[in-house]
Structure 1
Amino acid sequence: MIRPATPSDVPTIMRFVRELADYERAADKVVATEALLTDALFGPQPAAYAAIAERDGEPAGMALWFFNFSTWTGWRGLYLEDLYVTPEARGTGLGKALLRYLAGVALDSGCARFEWSVLDWNAPAIAFYDSVGAESMDEWTVRRVSGPALLALADRD
C-alpha cells in the first residue's frame, strides 16, 4: 500500500533519509531535522511532498518529491528527490510501485516529465531505473552553489 505521508510520518521519513544517506556514503551530510521536514512537507507553503509505502502494515519505503517547471515545455515537472526502500523490502516490487505512484501523481498534476538523479556508482539503482524506461541525461551535469559560495554569490558574506 502506498499512501500520502502525514505529519505523524515525519520521524519515519527522517529515519529513511538517514538510512538513504548512509547507503549513499554521505551520512555526515544530513542536517535536516524533524522540525524542518514538518515545515517543508506540512507547513503553510509546502516545499515538497512525500508518500509512504507499507508492507504488512509497516512503513517499508518512501518517496519525497517537489514540482519544478520547464520553460522548454511550458509545463511543470515532478522531481523525485528521494526514493528509499528498506533493505528487507528490496526486490519485492515496492520501488517500482512507488515510481508508478509518482508517475500517476505527475500525470494527475499536469506534469510533462518526471525526473530524478542517481549517483553514477549506484549500479543496482541505475539498472532498476533502466528497467522502467528511464533515460540517462548524460549530456547534463548538476551544478550546485551552497554554504560560503552561496553567501558570496549573493554578496552576503
Structure 2
Amino acid sequence: MIIRPAVLGDLVEVARLCAAHAAYEQAPPVPGNLTELLAEAIAAPHPRLWCLVATQQDTVIAYLTMTLEFSTWCGREYAHLDCLYVDEDHRGLGVGRSLMGAAVTQARDLGVSEIQWQTPAWNADAIRLYDRLGATSSAKRRYLLQTDPPLTA
C-alpha cells in the first residue's frame, strides 16, 4: 500500500469513493461533475482542498480530504478533515491509520498544529480508530442551512 497526495488522474476513482462514502453515510448523492469540481479545488493556484489517497497495485482504495479553516476562538488556522473513506474490501488493514498519519504530516507542512473533524455517532469503527489515535471528541450537532432560496425572517 502506498499513501500519497492525489494527482489529477486519481480523481475519477476518488469521486467513485466519494459516491460510496455518501451512500454509506446515507447522504444525498454526489454531483455528477464531482471529478471536475475536485480538480478545480486541488489544482487551483491557492488550493482549497488537499487530498491524500491510499493505493494498492495502482488502484485507489481510500481517500482523505482536508481544507484549512480559521478558528475565531483561537485566532489561527487548523486543518479540517472533511472526509476519510476506505473501500469496504480494505477496512481493518490499517489503511485509515496510515492516512491519518499522512494527514498529520500534511497539516504540519501546511503550518497548522491541529486537525478537527466529525463523524456520525453511529460509525463505531471510525470512532474506535480515532480513539486509538489519541484524538479527543466533543459533543456537538452538525447543522446545514441552504442559502438558496434566501433565508426569510
TM-score (norm 2): 0.88
The equivalent residue for 1:87 is 88
The equivalent residue for 2:150 is 152
The equivalent residue for 1:29 is 29
- For residues 38 and 118 of structure 2, what CA distance do their matches in structure 1 show? 20
Distance 1:50 1:146, change over 3 A: same
What percent of counterpart residues are identical? 31
Question: What SS does the aligned partner of 1:37 have?
Answer: helix
Q: Paired residues, what number?
A: 150
Question: What SS does the aligned partner of 2:102 have?
Answer: helix
Matches of residues 1-150 of structure 1 in structure 2 within 5 Å?
Answer: 1-26=2-27, 28-31=28-31, 33=33, 34-138=35-139, 140-148=140-148
Question: What SS does the aligned partner of 1:110 have?
Answer: coil
**Residue identity opposite 1:134 in structure 2:** A
- Is the Cα contact below 8 Å between 1:75 and 1:110 reproduced in 2? no
- Is the Cα contact below 8 Å between 2:23 and 2:29 reproduced in 1? no
Q: Which runs of 5+ in 1 are unaligned?
A: none
Structure with more helix by fraction: 1
- For residues 44 and 86 of structure 2, what CA distance do their matches in structure 1 show? 25
In terms of mean alpha carbon deviation, does 15-24 or 56-65 score higher?
56-65
- Is the Cα contact below 8 Å between 2:3 and 2:99 reproduced in 1? yes
Q: Structure 1 segments of 4 or more deviating over 3 A? A: none
Q: Which runs of 5+ in 2 are unaligned?
A: none
- For residues 32 and 145 of structure 1, what CA distance do their matches in structure 2 show? 22
- For residues 79 and 15 of structure 1, what CA distance do their matches in structure 2 show? 22
CA deviation after TM superposition for structure 1 residue 74, in Å: 2.5
CA deviation after TM superposition for structure 1 residue 93, in Å: 0.7
